[in-house]
Amino acid sequence: MNPLNELLEGQHRQADAALADAELQVAAGDWPAARAAGSALDDELRAHFRREEAVLFPAFEAATGSGCGPTRVMRDEHEQIRTLLDALRGAGERCDADAWLGLSDTLVLLMQQHNMKEEQILFPMAARLLAARLPALLDGLRPAAVSA
Protein backbone atom coordinates (compact mmCIF):
# COMPACT_ATOMS: atom_id res chain seq x y z
CA MET A 1 0.00 0.00 0.00
CA ASN A 2 1.31 3.46 -0.80
CA PRO A 3 1.92 5.81 2.15
CA LEU A 4 -0.85 8.21 1.05
CA ASN A 5 -3.44 5.45 1.13
CA GLU A 6 -2.04 4.17 4.41
CA LEU A 7 -2.37 7.54 6.13
CA LEU A 8 -5.76 8.57 4.75
CA GLU A 9 -7.36 5.12 4.96
CA GLY A 10 -6.34 5.12 8.62
CA GLN A 11 -8.20 8.40 9.06
CA HIS A 12 -11.23 6.88 7.33
CA ARG A 13 -11.19 3.90 9.71
CA GLN A 14 -10.97 6.26 12.70
CA ALA A 15 -14.06 8.10 11.47
CA ASP A 16 -15.86 4.77 10.96
CA ALA A 17 -15.05 3.81 14.55
CA ALA A 18 -16.19 7.21 15.85
CA LEU A 19 -19.50 6.83 14.03
CA ALA A 20 -19.98 3.31 15.40
CA ASP A 21 -19.30 4.60 18.93
CA ALA A 22 -21.84 7.40 18.52
CA GLU A 23 -24.43 4.94 17.18
CA LEU A 24 -23.95 2.70 20.22
CA GLN A 25 -24.45 5.64 22.59
CA VAL A 26 -27.62 6.76 20.77
CA ALA A 27 -29.01 3.21 20.75
CA ALA A 28 -28.34 2.99 24.50
CA GLY A 29 -30.14 6.29 25.06
CA ASP A 30 -27.10 7.86 26.72
CA TRP A 31 -27.54 11.30 25.22
CA PRO A 32 -24.65 13.05 26.97
CA ALA A 33 -22.26 10.34 25.72
CA ALA A 34 -23.98 10.28 22.32
CA ARG A 35 -23.58 14.03 21.88
CA ALA A 36 -19.92 13.83 22.94
CA ALA A 37 -19.27 10.96 20.51
CA GLY A 38 -21.17 12.76 17.77
CA SER A 39 -19.14 15.89 18.38
CA ALA A 40 -15.91 13.89 18.18
CA LEU A 41 -17.06 12.35 14.89
CA ASP A 42 -18.01 15.78 13.55
CA ASP A 43 -14.66 17.28 14.53
CA GLU A 44 -12.70 14.36 13.07
CA LEU A 45 -14.49 14.33 9.72
CA ARG A 46 -14.44 18.10 9.25
CA ALA A 47 -10.72 18.25 10.07
CA HIS A 48 -10.02 15.38 7.65
CA PHE A 49 -11.98 17.16 4.91
CA ARG A 50 -10.15 20.45 5.57
CA ARG A 51 -6.80 18.70 5.22
CA GLU A 52 -7.78 16.98 1.98
CA GLU A 53 -9.27 20.18 0.54
CA ALA A 54 -6.36 22.40 1.58
CA VAL A 55 -3.45 20.05 0.84
CA LEU A 56 -4.20 17.04 -1.35
CA PHE A 57 -6.86 18.33 -3.72
CA PRO A 58 -5.02 21.51 -4.79
CA ALA A 59 -1.82 19.53 -5.40
CA PHE A 60 -3.72 16.92 -7.42
CA GLU A 61 -5.51 19.61 -9.43
CA ALA A 62 -2.23 21.41 -10.16
CA ALA A 63 -0.67 18.14 -11.35
CA THR A 64 -3.62 17.24 -13.58
CA GLY A 65 -4.42 20.78 -14.69
CA SER A 66 -8.08 20.31 -13.79
CA GLY A 67 -10.37 20.95 -10.86
CA CYS A 68 -13.29 19.28 -12.60
CA GLY A 69 -12.31 15.64 -12.12
CA PRO A 70 -12.38 13.42 -9.05
CA THR A 71 -11.61 16.23 -6.63
CA ARG A 72 -14.79 18.08 -7.67
CA VAL A 73 -16.82 14.95 -6.89
CA MET A 74 -15.03 14.52 -3.55
CA ARG A 75 -15.68 18.16 -2.57
CA ASP A 76 -19.38 17.75 -3.42
CA GLU A 77 -19.55 14.61 -1.30
CA HIS A 78 -17.74 16.35 1.57
CA GLU A 79 -20.47 18.99 1.48
CA GLN A 80 -23.19 16.31 1.55
CA ILE A 81 -21.51 14.71 4.56
CA ARG A 82 -21.21 18.08 6.32
CA THR A 83 -24.95 18.58 5.81
CA LEU A 84 -25.63 15.17 7.36
CA LEU A 85 -23.35 16.01 10.29
CA ASP A 86 -25.35 19.20 10.90
CA ALA A 87 -28.58 17.18 10.84
CA LEU A 88 -27.10 14.60 13.24
CA ARG A 89 -26.17 17.38 15.65
CA GLY A 90 -29.75 18.67 15.53
CA ALA A 91 -31.20 15.20 16.15
CA GLY A 92 -28.81 14.78 19.08
CA GLU A 93 -29.84 18.11 20.57
CA ARG A 94 -33.49 16.98 20.34
CA CYS A 95 -32.64 13.52 21.74
CA ASP A 96 -34.38 12.05 18.70
CA ALA A 97 -32.94 8.55 18.37
CA ASP A 98 -35.06 7.56 15.36
CA ALA A 99 -33.96 10.61 13.37
CA TRP A 100 -30.34 10.24 14.50
CA LEU A 101 -30.12 6.57 13.57
CA GLY A 102 -31.85 7.14 10.23
CA LEU A 103 -29.40 9.92 9.37
CA SER A 104 -26.56 7.72 10.57
CA ASP A 105 -27.62 4.95 8.16
CA THR A 106 -27.47 7.46 5.31
CA LEU A 107 -24.09 8.73 6.51
CA VAL A 108 -22.66 5.20 6.65
CA LEU A 109 -23.67 4.52 3.05
CA LEU A 110 -22.34 7.85 1.79
CA MET A 111 -19.06 7.47 3.69
CA GLN A 112 -18.57 3.92 2.39
CA GLN A 113 -19.09 4.99 -1.21
CA HIS A 114 -17.00 8.13 -0.78
CA ASN A 115 -14.12 6.34 0.93
CA MET A 116 -14.09 3.60 -1.70
CA LYS A 117 -13.70 6.20 -4.48
CA GLU A 118 -10.92 7.97 -2.65
CA GLU A 119 -9.09 4.81 -1.60
CA GLN A 120 -9.36 2.95 -4.91
CA ILE A 121 -9.14 5.83 -7.40
CA LEU A 122 -8.05 9.23 -6.09
CA PHE A 123 -5.37 8.29 -3.57
CA PRO A 124 -3.50 5.85 -5.85
CA MET A 125 -3.62 8.39 -8.71
CA ALA A 126 -2.41 11.15 -6.41
CA ALA A 127 0.41 8.98 -5.05
CA ARG A 128 1.65 8.33 -8.59
CA LEU A 129 1.24 11.91 -9.85
CA LEU A 130 2.67 13.53 -6.74
CA ALA A 131 5.39 11.02 -5.86
CA ALA A 132 8.14 13.65 -5.71
CA ARG A 133 6.09 15.81 -3.32
CA LEU A 134 4.64 12.98 -1.25
CA PRO A 135 6.66 13.49 1.98
CA ALA A 136 5.56 17.13 2.25
CA LEU A 137 1.98 16.25 1.35
CA LEU A 138 1.88 13.54 4.00
CA ASP A 139 3.06 16.04 6.60
CA GLY A 140 0.24 18.38 5.59
CA LEU A 141 -2.35 15.61 5.75
CA ARG A 142 -1.60 14.52 9.30
CA PRO A 143 -3.94 15.68 12.07
CA ALA A 144 -3.27 19.20 13.34
CA ALA A 145 -1.55 20.10 10.06
CA VAL A 146 -4.46 22.28 8.87
CA SER A 147 -6.50 24.03 11.53
CA ALA A 148 -10.01 25.46 11.42
In order along its 148 residues, the chain shows pLDDT tens digits of 899 999 999 999 999 999 999 999 999 999 999 999 999 999 999 999 999 999 999 999 999 998 888 999 999 999 999 999 999 999 999 999 999 999 999 999 999 999 999 999 999 999 999 999 999 999 999 997 555 5
Q: What is the pLDDT of residue 54?
A: 97
Q: What pLDDT is stored for residue 145 in this prediction?
A: 56
Residue-level pLDDT at 146: 52
Which spans in the chain are helix H? 3-28, 31-51, 57-64, 70-93, 97-117, 123-129, 134-141
3-141: CATH class: mainly alpha
Q: How far apart are CA 72 and CA 3, in angstroms?
A: 23
**Where do the structural domains in the chain lie, given as residue ranges?**
3-141
Is 4:138 a contact under the CB 8 Å cutoff? Answer: yes
Report the 10 Å Cβ neighbour count for 51.
Answer: 22
Please, which residues have CB within 8 angstroms of residue 115's CB and are 6 or more apart in sequence?
9, 12
Question: Alpha-carbon distance 35 to 53, whole Å?
Answer: 26
